[in-house]
Amino acid sequence: MVKAPRSTALPAVMTGFTTLRHYESRHLRGDLIGGLTVTAYLVPQVMAYSTLAGLPAQVGLWIIILTLVAYFFIGTSRLLSSGPESTTALLTAATLAPLAVGDSGRYAVLAALLALLCGAFALIAWVMRLGFIGDALSKPVLVGYMAGVAVIMIMSQLGKITGINISGDSFFTDLKSFASNVSWDSLSWASLIMGVTVTILLFVLSRRFPKLPTPLIVIAGAAIVTSIFDLSQHGVTTVGTIATGIPTPSFAGISGSDITMLLIPAFGVFIVGYTDNLLTGRMFGDRHRHHIDPNKELLALGVGNIVAGVAHGFPVSSSASRATLGEAAGARTQLYSLVAAGGTLIILFVFSGVLESFPLAALGGVVAYAALRLIDVAEFRRLWGFRKREFLLAISAAAAVLIFDILWGVLFAIALSVLELLTRAARPHAAILGQVPDVPGWHDITDYEHTQQIPGLLVFRYDSPLFFANANDFVSKCEAAVDNYDPTPKWMLLNMEANVEVDITGLDALERLRSHCERAGVVLALVRVKHEVELDLMRHGVGGRIGPERMYPTLPTAVLAYQAEQSEDLG
């Protein structure tokens, strides 16, 4: 008698308990060093991302602590670093700037609400097991989208780095405002030199010393220089007072219309955040051979954003740079995230005075560094070399972000990916098959110089599932194959191996083909029909009209049936 397994629902969801229960002591040293290294790296980083999101610098510190702990208990990646991230921070600013109208209190409440809505979308998707939506953006579209986001990120920091007052509500209006206001005298040269120097140093040091927390080193150096040379008297602004009190939930003034206005932006932020999570998690999963569960990642993202919203933060995702640094420093499990969370908490309470001296221009340099790393020049080159169409998709996505702004750019990028998919599926490859001497199987007759076909037998393959978008193309290609076959074939043998499922429009198209074959005096037979598709054929009725006896499991059995029937006719 087989015993029913005990319920493991809680451990199945709370993966952190499994990590602790089966923790291997050999990982402890690496996780401790990795966690402390990431702590030093993330403090200036998340402060910069908070300012990018339009919120006080300390907000990022609180939500990184909470989201790191939440991901430890729920996430499935051993190295993913959950928390504030540049893209979602910029999306937050782009969403809320026109809604808050300069009211910092309302802005903070709306940012928290946006995080809660992102979390709600993620939790709904988790319940519905929609983990596959992380693949909503194709690689070319994602590369282009990130490049467009990077350009907007850099533009958003020009004011901090140059000291120029920029007023606009889109990339091009910001650019126009900057161009109108910039002059030799209006530039804060101290801020400009500091911002550019920080950006350059981050590139140089991170490449030369990949295991060091370069942002902290560079930002601390900038703070020391600011203090020694009293640069605050020369236009360099610092972070200022940091409130260390524990954030308390408050959503006063939120209305139903606020929620309605934020629904579409929240969905866009959720899609981008989840895609980033999944891509980063899979990268480290492939490298270290551990499985990433897309559905549990939805849960982790949902809980992380709910926590961030309750803590009056903004939407979160994950940071590939933090995870990469943790890995380089020796981290091998999510315990390093707990160490990083604890280290950040200590810094927030004990060293807040030091954080207050961080120059905003230097934090702007950190954001510019992160933005420039989002522009994957090598991938653009690869797309150009592989297929020009893929390259144009990337350029189109980047242009859409700049033209329509970042939020509509998200939806445009998703639509572009779907359109690309439909375009491929609507006009797929199709082939007449034949046999090749000394090559097993049946092959596209255009792929080989010498092929053999059985007289009177037209073997045809349509290389896509049959559905509404390609139904007419399917009928046109099949009818053309029958009509152009000389002499008219006795049988048309349709290879259905690509059809994992078929919709009613596709079945209607198959009926149109059957009628055409009947009028032409051609027998229509099907081969390699999957069981579920066969059931759909019978429910629709076209399967009965074709006849179950005309459906064959393999090409050889179908060919034998054709040859046997021809022999009987000759006899």
Confidence of residue 356 (pLDDT cuts 50, 70, 90): confident
Residue 515 tokens, joined: 């009628």
Query: Given a cut of 70, is residue 11 above it in pLDDT?
Result: no
Determine the pLDDT at residue 249.
67
Confidence of residue 263 (pLDDT cuts 50, 70, 90): very high
Determine the pLDDT at residue 13.
61
Average pLDDT value for residue range 555-571: 87
Strand pairing report for 457-462 and 491-495: parallel
Structure confidence by residue, pLDDT tens digits, 145-166:
889 988 988 998 898 899 998 8
Structure confidence by residue, pLDDT tens digits, 163-197:
998 887 788 998 999 999 999 988 999 999 999 99
Determine the pLDDT at residue 6.
43
Determine the pLDDT at residue 162.
92
pTM: 0.77
Determine the pLDDT at residue 8.
41
Confidence of residue 19 (pLDDT cuts 50, 70, 90): confident
Q: What is the DSSP string of 375-424?
A: --HHHHHHHHHH-HHHHHHHHHHHHHHHHHHHHHHHHHHHHHHHHHHHHH
Average pLDDT value for residue range 219-240: 88
Structure confidence by residue, pLDDT tens digits, 434-478:
999 989 999 999 999 889 999 999 999 999 999 999 999 999 999
Query: SS3 helix, strand, coil % of the chain, rounded to 5?
Result: 65, 5, 25
- Mean pLDDT (the chain, rounded): 89
Domain ranges of the chain: 26-246+256-421, 428-570
Query: Given a cut of 60, is residue 12 above it in pLDDT?
Result: no
Alpha carbons within 13 A on the beta-carbon side of 116? 17
Query: Given a cut of 80, is residue 100 above it in pLDDT?
Result: yes
Residue found by looking up tokens 């599932």 in the block: 465
Query: Given a cut of 90, is residue 491 above it in pLDDT?
Result: yes
Average pLDDT value for residue range 102-125: 94
Taking Cα atoms as reference points, which of 65, 550, 527, 46 lies closest to residue 342? 65
Determine the pLDDT at residue 570.
66
Q: Domain 428-570, CATH 3.40.50.720 — does that match?
A: no
Which element (helix H / strand E) includes 83? strand 82-83
- In the chain, the N- to C-terminal Cα span, in Å, equals 60
Query: Given a cut of 50, is residue 5 above it in pLDDT?
Result: no
Dihedral pair phi/psi, residue 293, rounded to 5°: -90, 110
Query: Given a cut of 50, is residue 7 above it in pLDDT?
Result: no
How far is Cα 274 from Cα 302, in angstroms, rounded to an integer? 9
Determine the pLDDT at residue 351.
86
